[in-house]
Amino acid sequence: MRTRHRLFTGLGAAALITAGLVITPIAAHADNLLTNPGFETGSLTGWTCAGGTGSVVSTPVRSGTKALAGAASASNNARCAQTVAVKPSTAYTLSAWVRGNYVHLGVTGGAVKWANSASGYTQLSITFTTTASQTSAEVYLHGWYGQGTYNADDIALDGPGGGGGNDTQAPTTPGNPRVTSVTANSVSLAWDASTDNVGVSGYEVVRTGQVTSATGTSATVTGLSPSTQYSFTVRAKDAAGNTSPSSVAVTATTGKDDGNPGPRFIQAAPYLYLGWGNPPAAADVMRATGVKWFTMAFILAQNGCNPTWDSQRPLKGGVDENNVKAIRAAGGDIVPSIGGWSGNKLGPNCATAELLAGAYQKVIDAYGLKAIDVDIENTDEFESAAVQDRILTALKIVKANNPGLRTILTFPTLNTGPNSWGNRLIEQAKALNANIDNFTIMPFNFGGAADMYAATVNSTEGLKNKLKSTFGWTDAEAYAHVGISGMNNSSDAGEVTSPQTWTRIRDWSNANHIGRLSFWAVNRDRPNWEFTAITAGFTG
């Protein structure tokens, strides 16, 4: 850390008059409060630069071996900033050595100075006094639009640190950092909260020197490039400026820039059931078909409101977890199917929505899930108004607690669309503001439909129209929230869906850009995984 001697020229004796009160500024000590003030770390640690415009260079420097370069353009002034804890009613001096055209140094909400045209390093300096209630200050540098790259070095904010008095204890390291969603230009993350002897004041998400500040346990890093891998760590800060160790790193690859204005939830995920039918090795199926997602069945209740596989196998340490790991090692992922037609289900066994949300959270935490599917069927769940509402409220709770989590409801249908219970489920999803990502119908067991393509399309159109009328969506918005979960070959009612018919259903689904395609089940798709390969061609 560079320390700079501080001179007072009458300001220390001046009185600040605010709202009739006379407040004498406290004399500041000669301490530089900024993190990485000379960029000698070789990174932008401590600084946040707009849109990735900042970088660390080895020439030209004012002292040491590194300096800041801010690439101002016609549309971005390359603003780089840092927020520090300060004391109220206290005088501070901010200074920096800069070079370039129209380089600005300032305090947000306060004074600013600039150098018009500095071919060599020139020092800018600002003295300011915090307000009676101010505990933080944001200092910044930026260039000017269209004026090219500027440089800055040896930046100092001299004065006493704020917040914690003699607090020197740093917060604990943020736990379980995870990626919750990705677009072509952003990555959203979440993590478990840190603790501190006084209190955590915020967090910083760091990627290759760029810092994004957050007040809670989630953040979205923007300004990223499409189809690019990034690495992120998270650290916590307290009011005294103590910083925790960095978390373990997590990586994410941004999506392709396909011109889509926002992220869509698209999933091709046939059922894989480990409790029946000589289940295949998922990695072998993935290699043979190209499928990436599986809907793993079934999460049921054991001893009340405790989630387990088939009411008997634990979430962790068994065959199910081993399969999840194998699927992910092969480049895929899973969505658990919670519920189903039969068995001891969580919906009726968890007495409140909060308890049910807690059960769902156990499943989410066990596997770090990106999505969950509640398969709501039969009289104990689907045909129970109380359980429908409990499930919807629980899904709303876990979605709020897990930024980026996608939620799916799977339920029966008529060949014309949802029945009265399905209509109620959709209407209550709107009324309770459950924010469900996908409504997946099961278009089979109609009682002997001769043309399964026509019956499937007809029932899906009925679902789309119900979503339109309930939520006020356009056709495109409604289709994007629609899912189809079929049954390969013969249904329980003897209705036959051939590979040719399933291909037509998939092609119709792609043409209308629905959100999800699944079928029951990979276990029944032998010997060549033909339906699975067809499903893998679903692109939304």
Residues labelled as active-site residues: 377
d(CA 319, CA 300): 16
CA 175 to chain centre: 15
d(CA 164, CA 162): 6
In sign, the C-alpha dihedral spanning 81, 85, 87, 91 is negative
DSSP 81: E
Token code pair at residue 88: 């109220």
Find, among 224, 171, 161, 220, the residue nearest to 193 by Cα: 171
Find, among 54, 354, 339, 74, the residue nearest to 212 by Cα: 54
Token code pair at residue 100: 């370039």
Q: Is 155 within 8 Å of 34 (Cβ atoms)?
A: yes
DSSP letter string over 441-470?
A: EE---SSS-S-HHHHHHHHHHHHHHHHHHH
Q: Is 271 within 8 Å of 516 (Cβ atoms)?
A: no
In sign, the C-alpha dihedral spanning 174, 176, 181, 187 is positive
Token code pair at residue 297: 């069945």
d(CA 508, CA 276): 31
All residues at 6 or more sequence positions from 379 whose CB lies less than 8 Å from its CB, including other chains: none
Instruction: Answer whether the bond into residue 60 is a cis peptide, omega within 30°.
Output: yes
Backbone Cα Rg of the chain = 29
**Residue 22, beta-bridge partner list:** 17
